[in-house]
Structure 1
Amino acid sequence: MMLCVLVFLANCKGDHSIASEEFTPSVPQNGKVEGTIFAKNGTKPIGGTLVFTIDQENRVYHTYSDSDGKFSLTAPEGNTTLHIQTGDGQNFRTEIPVTIKKNETFTVAAADSKLNQVAKMAYVKGSYDEIESIITRLGYTVTEITYQDLKNLNTIAQYDIIFLNCGSRNYTQTGTPTPGNDYNVYSNLSTFVSNGGSIYSSDWASAYLVGGNTNTEHCTAPGGFINDNLLCLKDTGTAGTYSNCSVSNASLATAIGFNALDIEYDMGAWEKIQNYDPAFWEVLVQKGNEPLMIRTGHYTNPSAPQTPVGTSLNNNHITICHHIPNDNNITITINQNAWNAHQTHGDTLGPCTGNSNNGNIYYTTFHNHATGNIGETAPILEYVILNL
């Protein structure tokens, strides 16, 4: 009888081992995908680009390109899509089908790893700043609009990004007189940002943000759409070189490959930031405690009318905050058909920082000079363009 009991127990133990092995899910095997991210021109490497894949369980595997544009990503084997994005992925992104094989490295061809433009961009011509020259040099397209066009909400609502060059408020051409304070423009820009549009503004173009005529001469200048308690500027800068400036934003410093630089201000009366609200603005570049380049994703006007802004190419994509256990969350733009699966993982709609429905505002006290001699600020301005 004891022998029978021992045999019975042995058989039970053996059956349990087999059952456990049969129902243990297989562990996916990893491979690598690598390459170099380029601007659309195919020659300029882009640092700080988010590169990721999503597996069948909607887990995200991600990395960033270095300052030379190079990346290497470990991810599960199988057929997948490689996503390449800057900013939150709404304005610039590329999707590449790749096959990742166990213990092998897949190299993406340079012709396939160019960062594509999704956004529709416009600029207002300036007297001292030509950000459009950097945009086109990178291989992207931007449309010139006039100061008068800013008075028409339907016109500017076609675009995702508007670049306001320094001197564009006193640039004259046929049919475009030197502008005074125009509250129509301020209201339209406020509505544009509140509905998801993004703005680049440099130096004297601060008048669009906080008020003034051709530029901002004092902190309580009339006009603008950003409250004076959030930002104060005066045109008291002097011509010369600002030495030992620091890139205070870690992501920007990694993307461009340096964290200190000299900035040449080739003209006087440039706008110096006197005061700012650190809860509203993030400082990206500074000299000592003086901000030289700032951005915000917090602007919204609850009274602004809700109106569609930007290109229809984003209609089937949404921006979400992907939550990573014990790690920094990341903002990604995905096909909206995948949203339900991501939502069950705890992801949330909208970017990880800022407001979910509004755009970004970048303000720089420096710009690309008419002579083109901009030195190390060039990669900083390229970063601004691609991360608006």
Structure 2
Amino acid sequence: MRQKYLFIMLCGLLLLVNCKGSDDSVTPEDPKTVSTGQVEGKVFAKNGTKPIGGAIVFTIDNKNQVHHTYSNADGTFSLTTPEGNTTLHIQTGNGLNFRTEVPITVKKNETTTVAGTDSKLNQVAKIAYIKGSFDKIEDIIASLGYTATEISYHDLKNFNTISQYDIIFLNCGSRGFAQTGTSAPGNDLDVFSNLSTFVTNGGSIYSSDWAAAYLVGGGMNVDYCGMYGGFIDDTLICFKNIGNAGIYTNCNVSNTALAAALGFNTLDIDYDMSSWEKIQNYDPTFWEVMVQKGNEPLMVRTNHYTNKTDPKIPVGTSLNNNHMTICHHTPNGNNITITINQNAWSAHQAHGDYVGSCTGSTSSGNIYYTTFHNHASGNIGKTGPILEYVILNL
């Protein structure tokens, strides 16, 4: 009887061993190494000639894990990703304004090269600009192969007009008499209110030099701290147009991502106009300094602005309606901001991702400000690539 019992136990053990199957089986407790291949290419602006550094390049596997890298300053990238049919995503900024999706087939231990015609960044955003007296950011936008619509200063008073755009560029000198018809446009409180609502609901703006008046108040420019109007409190940033003409040498690109995208971290800036706006003080918890001379900030940005009293009104192009920006948790803890199709959100949410940028509020847009700007003459040196970065990362 004892021998019979042992025989039954032995047969049962053999049966269990056979039920485990072959080495091809994969279980969560005993994961198998995933076969991968390489994807290489070069990111270009829409014009097909300007290489774009700092773009995030990624794929999403069947477990909704993101495999990502960034393009180098010369636009090149190399990404290791699981084999099979997938989509290569290329984005700048948070991906809402400029992005491209390329279907690819990744083969085990092989390199797939993406054609330059497929890796050009597409413009998803609708872009507007206010014509300025000393700035022509629209020329740089066009040189990259993108389009921007000119709107007037008075259009800023109508939220239904500006709400159709994702980005608004406020050129230096765009609050002058020729645009406003008055020498005291600082009283246009509806303009400030609309810009506040625009940013709060996800729209992004860029202003340069004298266009600081849109942010903190003033007429054509900001004469001193505490000007009337604006939508950003003076405790967060304060300007005064006391800059002198001359060259700022050895300025530092203090943002590491910006420096990596540009391929340089120092530059000289030619301030060829006197009375440019110098930043007197700023709140470092609200603003991030991107470029500086010593301790003096020359370019700042924020995505922390929000006004809880502003109405919740959708802004931006309808092309974004089926996409959303999320903060994705990577296994190594380096969280990344990407834009995904809304249909994929539930799977990402299940492993801890959340809606919105990994920094800042969940819904507000970006505000960029530069003390320097692009002149119509085009004599802007290394600030040119910086402004190109601003355009693509708003």
Q: Deviations over 1:159-205 (max 9, x none)?
A: 000000000111616x8555521111101100110111000000000
Residue in structure 2 matched with residue 160 of structure 1 by the alignment: 166
Q: Is the 8 A contact 1:124 1:164 kept in 2?
A: yes
Counterpart pick for 1:308 among 311, 314, 319: 314
2:73 pairs with 1:67: yes
Counterpart pick for 1:79 among 67, 74, 85: 85
Residue in structure 1 matched with residue 124 of structure 2 by the alignment: 118
2:228 pairs with 1:203: no
Q: Is the 8 A contact 2:183 2:219 kept in 1?
A: no
Alignment of 1:228-243 (within 5 A): 228-243=234-249
Q: Deviations over 1:257-277 (max 9, x none)?
A: 011111111111000001000
Q: Is the 8 A contact 1:169 1:179 kept in 2?
A: no
Kindly tell me: are residues 259 and 10 of structure 1, through their superposed partners in 2, closer, same or farther at Cα, counting changes over 3 Å? Answer: farther
Inter-partner Cα distance in structure 1 for 2:337 and 2:314: 22
Q: 2:57 corresponds to which letter in structure 1?
A: V
1:155 to partner: Cα distance: 0.6
1:6 to partner: Cα distance: 8.1
Residue in structure 2 matched with residue 24 of structure 1 by the alignment: 26
2:369 pairs with 1:363: yes
1:19 to partner: Cα distance: 3.4
Inter-partner Cα distance in structure 1 for 2:110 and 2:183: 62
1:358 to partner: Cα distance: 1.0
Residue in structure 1 matched with residue 260 of structure 2 by the alignment: 254
Q: Deviations over 1:314-353 (max 9, x none)?
A: 0001111101133310011000000111111111111111
Q: Deviations over 1:206-259 (max 9, x none)?
A: 000011110001001111100000001100101111011100000000000011
Alignment of 1:6-17 (within 5 A): 14-17=14-17
1:2 to partner: Cα distance: 9.5
After TM superposition, the structure 1 stretch with the greater mean CA deviation from structure 2, 290-299 or 323-332, is 323-332
Residue in structure 1 matched with residue 287 of structure 2 by the alignment: 281
Residue in structure 1 matched with residue 185 of structure 2 by the alignment: 180
SS of alignment partner, residue 235 of structure 1: strand
1:16 to partner: Cα distance: 4.4
Inter-partner Cα distance in structure 2 for 1:18 and 1:202: 72
Q: 1:381 corresponds to which letter in structure 2?
A: L
SS of alignment partner, residue 366 of structure 1: coil
Q: Give the TM-score of the pair, scaled to structure 1.
A: 0.96
Q: 1:85 corresponds to which letter in structure 2?
A: Q
SS of alignment partner, residue 35 of structure 1: strand
- In the alignment of these two chains, the number of paired residues is 387
2:328 pairs with 1:322: yes
1:306 to partner: Cα distance: 1.4
SS of alignment partner, residue 225 of structure 1: coil
SS of alignment partner, residue 263 of structure 1: strand
Inter-partner Cα distance in structure 1 for 2:62 and 2:193: 45
Q: Is the 8 A contact 1:165 1:202 kept in 2?
A: yes
Counterpart pick for 1:36 among 28, 42, 47: 42
Inter-partner Cα distance in structure 2 for 1:163 and 1:149: 13
Identity among equivalent pairs (%): 67
Q: Deviations over 1:61-120 (max 9, x none)?
A: 000000000001111111101000000000000001000010111100110000000000
Q: Is the 8 A contact 1:126 1:171 kept in 2?
A: no
Structure 1 runs (4+) deviating above 6 angstroms are 1-10
Inter-partner Cα distance in structure 1 for 2:263 and 2:360: 26
SS of alignment partner, residue 40 of structure 2: strand
Inter-partner Cα distance in structure 1 for 2:158 and 2:122: 29
2:337 pairs with 1:331: yes
Q: Deviations over 1:141-166 (max 9, x none)?
A: 00001111111111111100000000
2:277 pairs with 1:271: yes
Q: 1:378 corresponds to which letter in structure 2?
A: G
Residue in structure 2 matched with residue 377 of structure 1 by the alignment: 383
SS of alignment partner, residue 326 of structure 1: coil
Inter-partner Cα distance in structure 2 for 1:43 and 1:327: 35
Inter-partner Cα distance in structure 2 for 1:87 and 1:296: 13
Inter-partner Cα distance in structure 2 for 1:14 and 1:246: 70
Inter-partner Cα distance in structure 2 for 1:179 and 1:38: 43
SS of alignment partner, residue 258 of structure 2: helix
SS of alignment partner, residue 299 of structure 2: strand
1:377 to partner: Cα distance: 0.6
Q: 2:185 corresponds to which letter in structure 1?
A: G
1:13 to partner: Cα distance: 5.5
1:32 to partner: Cα distance: 1.0
